[in-house]
Amino acid sequence: DAGVTQSPTHLIKTRGQQVTLRCSPKSGHDTVSWYQQALGQGPQFIFQYYEEEERQRGNFPDRFSGHQFPNYSSELNVNALLLGDSALYLCASSLWGDNEKLFFGSGTQLSVL
């Protein structure tokens, strides 16, 4: 049973560029949430997708956007990258109606130079 998979594992970008991160949820799950984890901090909620719609959003600017596909996979897009966007980006999947227990991928480590 495949768990949550994320790609790429590492990414280096320069300020002002755009980036797309990808996530495939655990088999049987239909809900994807994205989190940003800065070094030494806990994960911070970016947004959640269910039925291809953004259902809830955290305190992140519009530069952060997402998409969910019919097969439940998801993308996180960040435009106009800033140095402060350097972090581990985590994807978590769950079953809508049982959103308490999250299954996380290993994340994408984004470095902005």
Query: How many CB atoms are closer than 10 A to CB 64?
Result: 18
Q: Which stretch binds another protein (CB under 8 A): 11-19, 67-75, 76-84, 93-101?
A: 93-101
Using the rule CB under 8 A, is 42 a contact of another protein?
Answer: yes
Residue selected from 19, 107, 110, 112 as contacting another protein according to rule CB under 8 A:
107
Q: Which helix (H) or strand (E) holds 52?
A: none
Q: In whole angstroms, give the CA distance from residue 29 to residue 113.
A: 35
Contact 56, 47 (CB under 8 A): yes
The nearer residue to another protein, 26 or 78, going by C-beta atoms, is 26
**Lookup result for tokens 């993308």:** 75
Using the rule CB under 8 A, is 84 a contact of another protein?
Answer: no
The nearer residue to another protein, 18 or 51, going by C-beta atoms, is 51
